[in-house]
Amino acid sequence: MKPKSTDPSALTHSYDRAALARFEVFLFASIATVLITRAYLAATGYPQIGGGALHIAHVLWGGLLMAVAIVMTVIAEGSRIRNGVALIGGIGFGLFIDEIGKFVTSDVNYFYQPAIAIMYVVFVLFYLVAREVVIRRGMNDRHRLAIGARALSDLALGQLDTVQYNHALRVLDGVRDPALADLAGSIRAGLHSHTPTGDSIESRITQWRNSVSARLDLFIGHRIVRRVVLAIFVLDALSAVVSVVVAFATDEEIIAQDISDLVVLLSSITTGILVILGVWFLFRGRYLRALRLLRASIVVNLLVTQVFLFAQDQFGALTGFVLSLFLLAVLRVTIRREEADLQPAPDPALEIRH
């Protein structure tokens, strides 16, 4: 049983999925580069490139690849270049940030233990902030026109495939401002004037990604999955209350011994409070507010608690990280559906006939 939310502030917006996909290529390429680089160096005994007194650190290769990505955006045109830039820039950034330990320690220590935690913070902040910016920015009519114009440019360059072509037409159909209707019609006419090229590799990857994303959305948005996730939060809230009561009842030492333990304790308490409040609003019928509080608890866990767990346990903390990401994904899908249910239906009088 799901109570109906009445939060009037709930809004949902369409957003530029292509921009988000390019960012995800950049981020995942960075993460994969760090993992592959560290695995390769460990397997080969950390070889020194250059020999003698020289050591060509891979941070230099990372800087070179990021420079190549920047130059590509300056001198080249077309969406295929943007996709290539996302991949090349992501690899370069991964090589760069992998050596962060050398630049935050006086002894230039590549194996500085908290380096993994620093990289973790950067990647998670990138993911949360960039995704939130893209989604919150939404896609207004002028943004839709810009996407259509880029598709027209790709068509002129011979880079427009059928997937991008159909996407651009759907985006242009969303233009609702009568003052921009003629411009949207001109761009649409230009797209109809030539046949797009066949499906490119990028198009096939996009189709595969969209198919996987749709299946994941169906899975994590399923009623049973959502109930299981909410049950996990209820148990987490009960566990937090019981642990505090037991600690005080048995006079257990609860003051942290060092700063990292103190931060983990405080962040865990904050997370527990947010979970308890979320569950309380859930049972009071404030479903959307409850979901947002539970989402906030996951964000605190990702940005604070998991950071210090990574610093203490390196890659051993991946299990908790993956679980937190899964819970966050379920909450995002659920919140999006709740906000969509609250979005008022469009006024037929404002529809533009094409």
**What tens digit of pLDDT does each residue of 128-162 get?**
888 888 887 878 899 899 999 998 988 888 878 77
Q: Are 292 and 335 within 8 A, CB to CB?
A: yes
**What tens digit of pLDDT does each residue of 101-129 get?**
888 888 888 888 778 778 878 888 888 88
Find the mean pLDDT for residues 306-326. Answer: 68
Q: Are 168 and 147 within 8 A, CB to CB?
A: yes
Q: Are 123 and 31 within 8 A, CB to CB?
A: yes
pTM (2 decimals)? 0.65
Residue 238 has pLDDT above 60, yes or no: yes
Tokens at residue 193, please? 């004037």
Higher per-residue pLDDT: 349 or 293: 293
pLDDT of residue 67: 96
Residue 2 has pLDDT above 50, yes or no: no
Q: Give the distance between the most distant pair of CA atoms in the chain.
A: 78
Per-residue H/E/C for 50-84: CCCCCCCCHHHHHHHHHHHHHHHHHHCCCHHHHHH
Residue 303 has pLDDT above 90, yes or no: no
Confidence band of 92 (pLDDT split at 50, 70, 90): very high
Find the mean pLDDT for residues 200-213. Answer: 64
